[in-house]
Amino acid sequence: MTKDECFFLGKIVKKYSFKGELLIKLDTDEPDLYENLDAVFIDVRGNLIPFFTESSQLHKSELLRVKFEDVDTEADADALIKSACYLPLTALPELDDDKFYFHEIIGFTVEDKNFGTVGTIKGVNDSTAQSLFEIDRNGIEILIPMNDEFIAKVDKQNKTIFVNTPEGLIDLYLEE
């Protein structure tokens, strides 16, 4: 299993008990979906290693208290602190038609109501306060905020996202 085949679930932040229990800070809006995990992949020195769970339960809303098989001591638990946890992409819950995961829209075409075909989504920048579509238009990068007011329709079948951006936004990137 590679990171390309997985999504980031969260990070192990601290020990919970002297019996090897750990707390994972979940990176999700719906932590209860991940309360009863059978296993997770943990990044150990750049390799994803499967760890099977004996038990897991939510702890203070966004933390998952987990006991892994063969992690029975404080030393075992210490070795995993600050490690990233992943699940296979197939474990992601199905979304409504107008919702999407960032990884699944790579390669989609963006059509603007006023401008026409903008280009192809090559990535999503979510490091800013507002996530941005990173669109390639013949070698020129165009950034469009992923704002519900701008996104008119998501057509997953035809791999197209229809947007209605403010007049002049796209032209800003195309002016010499």
Asked if residue 96 is part of any domain, the answer here is: no
Shared domain for 85 and 116, answered yes or no, is no
Helix (H), strand (E) at residue 137: strand 132-137
Record the pTM.
0.68
Alpha-carbon gap, residue 70 to 52, rounded angstroms: 9
* pLDDT tens by residue, 79-113: 999 999 999 988 887 777 778 888 889 999 999 99
pLDDT at position 63 over 80: yes
Residue 8's CATH number: 2.40.30.60
Of the listed ranges 1-15, 18-32, 90-104, the one predicted with least confidence: 90-104
Alpha-carbon gap, residue 161 to 66, rounded angstroms: 39
Q: Sign of dihedral through CA atoms 11, 81, 38, 56?
A: negative
Residue 139's CATH number: 2.30.30.240
Q: Look at residues 35, 64, 90 and tell me which one is the last residue of a structural domain.
A: 90
Of the listed ranges 89-98, 114-123, 132-141, the one predicted with least confidence: 89-98
Alpha-carbon gap, residue 4 to 116, rounded angstroms: 32
Task: Kindly tell me the burial class for residue 79, based on how many C-beta atoms sit within 10 Å of its own C-beta (0-12, 13-18, 19 or more).
Answer: exposed
Alpha-carbon gap, residue 59 to 47, rounded angstroms: 27
> Domain range for residue 110?
102-174
Phi, psi of 74, deg, nearest 5: -60, -35
**DSSP 3-state of 35:** coil
Asked if residue 97 is part of any domain, the answer here is: no
Asked if residue 67 is part of any domain, the answer here is: yes
